[in-house]
């Protein structure tokens, strides 16, 4: 298939993702006023003091006080702006590349960008800001524009103050810097440590040392005074000390199925790299996985963390070389695309879902083996 046609298909897919994301965001923010999706955006410093994730909520509260525009419309307008910029730049990123069918396979991956349509509840989440900032950085690097170290530091701080999960994906920034800047390896690693890792660690320490609870005694009355009554408290009822191990134990099978989605995602990228003769730095992957281990332990949104990882990897790898596929490779790629259209991964607990009959068979097989092994032990 010609590159021009593939690029049109990719652009169409991004338009579909955009429409679905905006439609879902409107429902979650404006119609439902969900305490998890909408609530995460309106965490602020005004209702009690400095807390994690409160940066943009503070700005939104200020706009509300100056204009009397309802908070839900302010937040939705901002999310709309983020998605518009993100998908516009994604289209620009891919349309300038000589893409083959494997690029479509990556975009459709349900453990990556494809999750935007497979589980629309991923919409409105703050990682869209991470994606946008990283995409802008990649585009600047591709254009051979020098990005100042302090600029990188500034936006890393903004990302972490927006959501602390950004810290656990820092190796993506470091890798992009390392691969696209001149100088010795020691010099570049030193720069990464000083301008990226060290400021991020300091901000994380400040957040967890001095940050107060997301909900204070003034939170409910504060929002009412600003014309908002949440239908559910959601994030404001979040207990940072809850026992995650009990949740994992009670959903043991469901969380183990995330390994299937991660394996398929890894296989998709392996095929992409193998066919296109692209190499991903092994050290980077090891460091990034080590960074993610604490996040997977502390927070139960395993689908979300997997989605962020594979989406950032898609953005990173989009600028790598592509070659013309052989007839055999085209057949394998088409089968991979069809398979990626057939399954999905959800935000929480449901790590891999395909056809109901196959899901039931997989579950029976798992418990059969589980109890057989348990009896042997």
Predicted confidence at residue 177, as pLDDT, reads 95
Give the 3-state DSSP-derived string for 296-332, with helices as H, strands as E and coil as C.
HHHCCCHHHHHHHHHHHHHHHHCCCCCCCCCHHHHHH
- Give me the residues paired with residue 353 across strands: 344
Rounded to an integer, what distance in angstroms lies between the CA atom of residue 111 and that of residue 103?
15
> Helices H, strands E: what count in the chain?
19, 0
Please report how the helices 170-180 and 302-317 are oriented relative to each other, as an axis angle in degrees rounded to 10.
10
What pLDDT does 131 receive? 97
Instruction: Report pLDDT for 376.
Output: 57
User: What's the CA gap between 157 and 162, in Å, rounded?
Assistant: 8
Q: How far apart are the first and last CA of the chain?
A: 54
Stretches in the chain below the pLDDT threshold 70: 1, 368, 370-377
Residue 45 buriedness (CB in 10 A; 0-12 / 13-18 / 19+): middle
pLDDT value, residue 121 = 85
CB contact at 8 A, 321 and 194:
no
pTM of the complete model beyond 0.75: yes
The SS3 of residue 83 is helix
Instruction: State how many domains the chain has.
Output: 1
The pLDDT score that the predictor gives to residue 365 is 81
Which domain range does residue 336 map to?
3-376
Q: Do residues 358 and 133 touch, judged by C-beta distance below 8 A?
A: no
- pLDDT tens digits, residue range 285-328? 999 999 999 999 999 999 999 999 999 999 999 999 899 899 99
- From the list 75, 119, 47, the residue with the least C-alpha distance to 302 is 119
Q: What's the CA gap between 14 and 107, in Å, rounded? A: 9
pLDDT at position 371 is 64
Calpha distance 129→358 (Å, rounded)? 36
């Amino acid at each position: 298939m010609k590159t021009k046609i593939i690029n049109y298909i990719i652009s169409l897919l991004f338009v579909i993702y955009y429409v679905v994301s905006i439609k879902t965001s409107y429902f979650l923010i404006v119609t439902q006023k969900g305490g998890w999706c909408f609530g995460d955006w309106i965490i602020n410093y005004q209702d009690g003091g400095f807390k994690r994730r409160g940066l943009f909520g503070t700005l939104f509260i200020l706009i509300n006080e100056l204009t009397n525009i309802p908070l839900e419309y302010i937040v939705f307008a901002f999310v709309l702006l983020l998605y518009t910029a993100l998908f516009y730049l994604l289209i620009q990123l891919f349309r300038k590349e000589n893409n083959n069918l494997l690029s479509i396979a990556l975009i459709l991956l349900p453990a990556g960008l494809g999750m935007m349509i497979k589980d629309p509840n991923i919409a409105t989440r703050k990682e869209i800001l991470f994606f946008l900032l990283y995409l802008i950085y990649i585009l600047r690097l591709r254009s051979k524009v020098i990005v100042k170290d302090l600029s990188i530091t500034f936006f890393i701080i903004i990302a972490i103050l927006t959501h602390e999960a950004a810290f656990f994906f820092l190796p993506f920034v470091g890798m992009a810097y390392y691969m696209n800047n001149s100088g010795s390896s020691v010099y570049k690693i030193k720069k990464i440590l000083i301008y990226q890792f060290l400021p991020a660690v300091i901000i994380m320490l400040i957040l967890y040392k001095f940050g107060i609870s997301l909900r204070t005694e003034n939170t409910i009355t504060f929002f009412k005074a600003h014309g908002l009554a949440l239908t559910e408290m959601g994030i404001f009822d979040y207990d940072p000390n809850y026992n995650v191990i009990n949740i994992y134990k009670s959903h043991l099978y469901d969380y183990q199925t995330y390994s299937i989605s991660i394996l398929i995602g890894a296989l998709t990228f392996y095929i992409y790299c193998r066919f296109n003769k692209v190499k991903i730095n092994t050290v980077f992957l090891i460091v990034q996985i080590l960074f993610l281990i604490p996040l997977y332990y502390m927070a139960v949104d395993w689908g979300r963390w997997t989605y962020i990882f594979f989406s950032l990897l898609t953005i990173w790898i989009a600028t790598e070389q592509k070659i013309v596929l052989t007839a055999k490779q085209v057949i394998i790629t088409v089968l991979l695309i069809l398979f990626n259209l057939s399954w999905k991964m959800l935000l929480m607990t449901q790590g891999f879902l395909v056809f109901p009959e196959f899901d039931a068979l997989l579950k029976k097989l798992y418990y059969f083996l589980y109890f057989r092994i348990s009896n042997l032990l």
